[in-house]
Amino acid sequence: MLTKDKDRTKTNVERQVDLNDRAYNAIRRQRARTEAAGREVFWNPNTGKPFIDEQSQRRVWRAALRKAGVRYRAPKECRDTSVTLALMAGANPMWVALQHGHSVQVMMRDYAKWIPSADRGANRAAVNAAISGPAQDQKKAI
């Protein structure tokens, strides 16, 4: 669980984020490198000190993308990708919205196309299982 500083969110509201295992382990590894020196997890590799502004973070971001051979994309696109991957994996849209600081309305407006709905049979079976046990063949049920 990661708590985001409320002074740095758009709405000035502190929120806790449930990290997936891969993200959690990456943060733990990074934290092990910087923990003794202070509270911040990510440090500017050029200065060896915590980032002091967004501009210095963007310089390091651009350099990392260049080194990786990836065309430029804004850091915000990582958030968009996270939302999209969660929805495509079938995560509850309400949970996804809360995790990313979106209202459900905004999240549905911007990302609804990524919610899997093609397999109506699987969705119907899930609803049937939740309310009445194993799914029944619809022809027999009618």
pLDDT tens, residue by residue, 104-136: 899 889 988 888 765 667 777 877 888 985 555
Is 120 a member of any domain? yes
Is 110 a member of any domain? yes
Note the pTM of the prediction, 2 decimals: 0.66
Is 134 a member of any domain? yes
Is 47 a member of any domain? no
Residue for token pair 């000035």: 12
Give me 130's structure tokens.
């939740």
For residue 89, give its domain range.
Answer: 75-142
DSSP 5: P
Residue 2, number of CB atoms within 10 A of its CB: 12
pLDDT tens, residue by residue, 76-115: 899 999 998 888 888 888 999 999 998 989 988 998 888 8
- CA dist 52 to 44, 62, 74, Å? 9, 17, 19
pLDDT tens, residue by residue, 13-68: 787 888 889 989 999 998 888 877 677 888 888 888 888 889 999 999 999 999 99
Residue 75 pLDDT more than 80?
Answer: yes
Is 79 a member of any domain? yes
Is 102 a member of any domain? yes
